[in-house]
Amino acid sequence: MRALITGGAGFIGSNIVPLLLENHWQVTVLDNLSSGYECNIDNYLRDGRINFINGDVCNPVNIDNALNNVDVVFHLAACVGRQKSIDNPVLDSTTNLIGTIYLLESMRKHGIKRIVYSSSAAIFGELLTPTINENHPQNADSPYGVSKLAAEKMILAYSGLYGITAICLRYFNIYGINQRFDVYGNVIPIFARRLYSHEPITIYGDGKQTRDFVNVSDVARANYLAATAAKTTAVYNLGSGNSISIQRLADMMQEITGLKSDIHYGPERLADVKHCKADIQKIKNELGFYTTVSLDEGLREYLNWFSINFVD
C-alpha cells in the first residue's frame, strides 16, 4: 500500500510513519515544517525509506505532486489549538478548511478513494455530559473547533459525492514521544518543562477538572486500523476511555521524575470544560481498537524522552 501523510513530520504524523513502514507501506510525507520537525523523520529520510515533500496543503501544486501513486491519505496537516485559532483565525481556517478542500479536490482528480482524517473533540464545544459519544451535539465554540468541524463535514460531503471512504477520528488529549513544548503547548509538555526547569506549575481552577489522555502510539494504531479495517465512511471518538484530574496528573509527573515543583492555582479559563472522557465503544466494536499503553507507562516513556532531548 502507498500512503500520503500530510503533516507527517509533526507530533502524531511522525508516529504513524514507522508503523506504516513496519507493515511494508510506501510512505510520502507532505509537511511545511511550520509545526513539524524534520528531525522527527530523519532516520527514515537518511535510509531512503520515505519520500519527503517540503510543501503546504494550501498549495495545489504541492498536493498534486504528493498524491502521485497514492492509495490512502492520512490527513493530519493543521493549524492546531484553541488559543492559537483565537489569535489568528484566518490562518486557522485557511489551513484547516481551505487546505482540506484543496486536498479533496486533488484526491478526486487522482481517483484516490480513502482518507483518514484527524479531527478533534474541539468540534463538540461546551460539553453537556462527562462522557462523550459520537452523537454528542457539535457546537464548536472556537475558530479551531469550527474549522475542524467544517473540514470534517466537507470530507463527509466528498465521501457521499465521489465514493471516497472517509474515516474521521475525533482526538481527545494525545500525548507522547515527539510532542514538544511551545507557547500553545498541551498540558503534559508544559508540566514537563516546568518540572525540569524547577519552576512552579500553574493549574487553572481547582485541579479537579478531568481529561482523557491517550498515548500517541495508540493513536497511530487507530489510524492504521482506520485505513485497513474500516469498511465504510464513519466518525469515531478516539481517546483512552478513562479520565484523570489535572491535579493527579501533576502529582504523577512529580512522582515519576522525583522532582518537586510548587503548584500555583490560577483562575479558571474562559469556556474551559470541567470534565471530559471519550466513549470509545464504537471504535472498539467496529475497528477492534483498544488501548495498549497505560497513562503511567506512557508518562514514564514521555518524560524519559523529554529529559534526553530537552534537559541540559
Q: Residue 182: its pLDDT value, please?
A: 77
Residue 180, domain member (yes or no): no
Residue whose entry in the numeric block shows the C-alpha cell 507527517: 8
Say which range, 62-66, 82-86, 205-209, 254-258, has the weakest mean pLDDT: 82-86
Residue 182, domain member (yes or no): no
Predicted structure pTM score: 0.96
Residues 28 and 138 in one domain: yes
Residue whose entry in the numeric block shows the C-alpha cell 484553541: 82
Is 144 one of the annotated active-site residues of the chain? yes
Task: Give me 234's grid cell.
Answer: 464513519
7 has a pLDDT exceeding 70: yes
Residues 206 and 230 in one domain: no
Residue 93, domain member (yes or no): yes
Residue 258, domain member (yes or no): yes
What is the DSSP code string of 189-232?
HHHHHHHHTT--EEEESSS--EE-EEEHHHHHHHHHHHHHT--S
Q: Which residue out of 44, 117, 144, 171 is catalytically annotated?
A: 144
Binned at pLDDT 50, 70 and 90, residue 267 comes out as very high
The CATH number assigned to the domain holding 199 equals 3.90.25.10
Please name the amino acid found at residue 160: G
Task: Give me 91's grid cell.
Answer: 490562518
Average pLDDT over residues 108-131: 95
Task: Give me 196's grid cell.
Answer: 525540569
Q: Residue 271: its pLDDT value, please?
A: 63
Residues 18 and 118 in one domain: yes
183 has a pLDDT exceeding 60: no
- Domain containing 84 equals 2-175+214-241+278-292
Which among 218, 199, 177, 215 is positioned nearest to 307, based on CA atoms?
177
> pLDDT tens digits, residue range 9-20?
999 999 999 999
Number of domains present in the structure of the chain: 2
Residue 181, domain member (yes or no): no
Binned at pLDDT 50, 70 and 90, residue 184 comes out as low
Q: Which residues pair with 50 in a beta bridge?
A: 27
86 has a pLDDT exceeding 70: yes
Q: CA torsion, points 60, 63, 64, 68, in degrees to nearest 10?
A: 180
Residues 27 and 133 in one domain: yes
Our measurement of the distance from residue 281's CA atom to the centroid of its chain's CA atoms, rounded to an integer in Å, reads 20
Residue 75, domain member (yes or no): yes
Residues 165 and 27 in one domain: yes
> pLDDT tens digits, residue range 218-260?
999 999 999 999 999 999 999 999 999 999 999 999 999 999 9
Residue 112, domain member (yes or no): yes
Please enumerate in sequence order all residues whose Cβ is within 8 A of that of 62, keeping only pairs 6 or more positions apart, or say none.
30, 53, 55, 56
Binned at pLDDT 50, 70 and 90, residue 181 comes out as confident
Q: Residue 185: its pLDDT value, please?
A: 66
The CB-side HSE value for 28 (13 A sphere, CA atoms) comes to 20
The CATH number assigned to the domain holding 76 equals 3.40.50.720
Provide φ and ψ at 89, rounded to 5°. -65, -30
Residues 143 and 83 in one domain: yes
